[in-house]
Amino acid sequence: MAKVTLTVNGRRVSEDCDDRMLLVHFIRDKLGLTGTHVGCDTTQCGTCVVHMDGRSVKSCSVLAVQAAGSDVTTIEGLAAQGDLHPVQAAFKEHHGLQCGFCTPGMVMTAVDMIHRHGGQLDEATVRHELEGNICRCTGYHNIVKAVLAANADMQAGREAAE
């Protein structure tokens, strides 16, 4: 057994867990944050994407003990004071979800993608970067539209702040 201490969604947490426990199970089972989904457990589907120290990771490929001391953000940590994050709002507005199972991972991947590319995204880049996230319902078209719309909104917000 290991004691794992990390910051999740701005809150410091410390829990005992098996040395082999995956971060996705730590988040869901130990912390009760079930927005991070378990899909394939083999890094193929992307439903478990969270941000660890500011970068997206598939939490089914990280042991909880490897995340000790890290700052982790889950889908529950994106919304600020009840307002949807711009990417969440764009998914809603542009119908970027159907069953919703892949949505948390898609949103977390999109947020990281937008930050890494500094607002400079095109459709080909978005489609390429979403290859690690599987959606069986939407055909990706509206997901790509949502990511591009959120990118434009976030870029406009950055320019307005300057």
Residues 63 and 35 in one domain: yes
Domain end position, chosen among 77, 101, 129: 77
- Shared domain for 93 and 133, answered yes or no, is yes
Classify residue 26 by its DSSP letter.
I
Q: How high is the pLDDT of residue 117? A: 95
Q: Are residues 133 and 116 in the same domain?
A: yes
Domain count, the chain: 2
Segments forming the whole domain that contains residue 149: 86-161
The neighbour count for residue 127, using CB atoms within 10 Å, is: 14
The answer to whether the CB of 19 falls within 8 A of the CB of 68 is no
CATH number at residue 61: 3.10.20.30
Name the strand (E) or helix (H) holding 111: helix 103-116
151/98 same-domain check: yes
pLDDT of 138 reads 81
Same domain, yes or no: 132 and 93? yes
Q: Are residues 108 and 59 in the same domain?
A: no
24 and 69 belong to one structural domain:
yes
Output the tens digit of pLDDT for each of the chain's 162 residues.
999 999 999 999 999 999 999 999 999 999 999 999 999 878 899 999 999 999 999 999 999 999 999 999 999 999 888 899 999 999 999 999 889 999 999 999 999 999 999 889 999 999 999 999 999 888 899 999 999 999 999 988 776 776
Do both 48 and 93 map to the same domain?
no
- Judge if 61 and 118 occupy the same domain: no
Alpha-carbon span 118 to 96, nearest angstrom: 22
